[in-house]
Chain A
Amino acid sequence: MNDGGSCLVKMVDLGKSYHQTRTIALRGVNASIAHGEFVSVWGASGSGKTTLLNLLAGLIEPTEGAICFEDRPLSAIRNKSRFRLNNIGYIFQDFYLYPRFTVMENILLPFAHRWVVGRAKKERALQLLDSMNMGGKAHRQIMGLSTGERQRVCIARALLNEPLLVLADEPTGNLDSVTSRHILEILKEMNESKKTTIIVATHDQQVDSYATRSLRIADGSIVAA
């Protein structure tokens, strides 16, 4: 589905403030991300990186400005859940895996609301595991995996729906440097082979060497691109 070069996401004067805590998480963000880009959003803790990802995923609504996804305003999409299921893959720093479920079951979770998960999805899950050198661990319990393996399961889960956009929030935050490199290599491989657009929020400068572009964010504003 990726056509390379054309605009996938456009942010126009994007802002988000939280009235309860009277904090401005983001303000005046203007940026475009094209199909097939690998963008790192770099900034210190509390700079607004996660808020930006949550806005792009449609998990929260902006208080100012707008986001267009493939030229369609995100605010016009009524069923945000289905939008995420079909277009977005989200990788969390803390994995959020179901501990009592197997690797395969965790990967299939986004589609477990369906009475039957099709064979194609299962085959895709196995392919993803193979590509991450975890082919033999599909039926292993999550509890028995290393942190690096757990993060790979998260990546496989995020990529199962062949999303146009993968959002990764501090994917290397809980990993040692060797495992971090491995995870970033997997993301880079997905980006290059499938032209999957990837946005990684991080304060790990190592990510920059894998990204095609970096956005620097400080105090809720983009300071360098």
Chain B
Amino acid sequence: MGFLQFVIKDLLRQKVRLLLAVSGIAVALSTCVIMLGVSEGVRETFRRSYKQNNVDIVAFEKEEYNIFSSLVDAGLVEKLKGLEEVEDAAGALFELYYCGKSFVPLLGWPPGSIFFRDIVLIEGKPPQSSRDQVMIGDSLARVTRLKIHDTLRIKGRAFEITGIFKGLSSLERSAMIIPLDTFQQLDAGKKGKVVGINILLKKPFRNEQGTAMMIEKIEKKFPQLTAQDVDVFIAEKWSYILLGDKLSTVIVLVTVIAVIFGLSNIMLTSFFERRKLIGLLIAMGWQRSDVLRSLVCQSLLISFAGGLLGIPLGFVGIEHLFGMMEISLFMPVWNTALLAKIIGIIMTSGIVAALIPSIIILNLNPVEVIKSE
């Protein structure tokens, strides 16, 4: 009988308790999987929206960015295009619009601009400038069963559907895209305005140094603008606006603490039940470090078993959750980084939960515990 066999066999002596503990941890970890998956999905959705167009810098109203209220002069787009380091630039308008099924993104894009570069048209053609034409995402088309040449009412006006497209992010796949100038006419307050400006740099400047230099140059030349690297912009602005990141972090932290307390309680109960036998092991020649190792191993095995159940449970839960929504702006994302986070949570919980009994073991007097009743 080797160490692992001892650890596993000792663990299996209270099978029902073990099953309950693993189930509890599995449910808690599935919550972590769901929260982290959704949070990562939100981040990834926006990252794709910007990255697919190879945007390097985002410029917006000085220190006041809010996607629903910030506005800058659309004329700045042409001025930015005029800079020698800039390859292209485009401004857009954005609004969450209720389409009768759900809130969907209503985007105002200048026809022929960089925004259209990576859009894959499934059917039809993009909307024309100054026309009441709209292009809709494939998710929205599927749910609403709208087709090319159908009419869609937006803000009291009838728009002809000219195209159905497949966007890279779930946000775009549920979106309606109309020409920017038409959008500006729909809302008097948005005439000649855009929410922000996406800027693409020429190849020699598409690096960390070039981007930093251009941010400085843009802010100096256009004091009414704040310019940010696209990754910084996504991380700071979007996660702040949506609160998703922070909310999920709080929920994950609370869940992890609950797992640690629960597991710690189990380890402590298990330790007190076996105090005499642990004293005996020390009397027979085990070192305290050997006992600690066995305890940490058991704690880790329980949390990993919880993970083995909890991770698939989280996947099923999130699929079910998103399956219930007809139109989903965000889709969960699963990647190795997320898996690493979950494994990190499992390992931390396992190790921390074994800490309290470990402290007791360090001060354990084998003679006293063997003799105790």
Contacts and interface: CB of A to CB of B under 8 A. Distances in A.
Interface of A: 54, 57, 59-60, 79, 81-82, 84-86, 88, 90, 92, 96, 98, 100-101, 104-105, 108-110, 112-117, 157, 161
Contacts of B281: 109-110, 113
A108 B366 CA distance: 19
B9 interface: yes
A54 B370 CA distance: 11
B367 interface: yes
A96 B367 contact: no
B276 interface: yes
A115 B2 contact: yes
B287 A113 contact: yes
Given A109-B281, A113-B287, A92 B2 contact: no
A112 B367 contact: no
Given A57-B283, A113-B286, A117-B2, 13 more contacts: A59-B283, A81-B288, A81-B290, A85-B285, A86-B285, A88-B285, A90-B283, A100-B10, A105-B1, A105-B6, A108-B1, A109-B1, A109-B284
A81 B9 contact: no
A113 B290 CA distance: 6
Contacts of A57: 283
B287 A117 contact: no
Contact of B284 (A85, A101, A104, A114): A85
A98 B367 contact: no
Q: Which 9 A-B pairs have the closest CB atoms?
A: A85-B285, A113-B290, A112-B6, A110-B284, A81-B287, A96-B280, A84-B285, A100-B13, A105-B1
A115 B7 CA distance: 11
Contact of A79 (B3, B6, B287, B366): B287
B4 interface: yes
A28 B224 CA distance: 93
B282 interface: yes
B277 interface: yes
A157 B284 CA distance: 9
8 contacts: A81-B290, A98-B10, A100-B12, A101-B9, A105-B9, A108-B1, A113-B294, A117-B1
Contact of B367 (A54, A85, A104): A54
A92 B370 contact: yes
A3 B347 CA distance: 51
A81 B292 CA distance: 14
Given A98-B277, A101-B9, A110 B1 contact: no
B287 A104 contact: no
Contacts of A105: 1, 5-6, 9
> Which of A98, A110, A113 counts the most chain B CB atoms within 10 A?
A113
Nearest to B14: A100
Contacts of B4: 115
A88 B285 CA distance: 9
B6 to A, nearest CB: 4
A60 B282 CA distance: 12
Contacts of B10: 98, 100
A98 B1 CA distance: 13
Contact of A84 (B283, B294, B370): B283
Nearest to A104: B1
Interface in B333-361: none
Contacts of A112: 1-3, 5-6
Contacts of B367: 54, 59-60
Nearest to A99: B13
Nearest to A122: B1
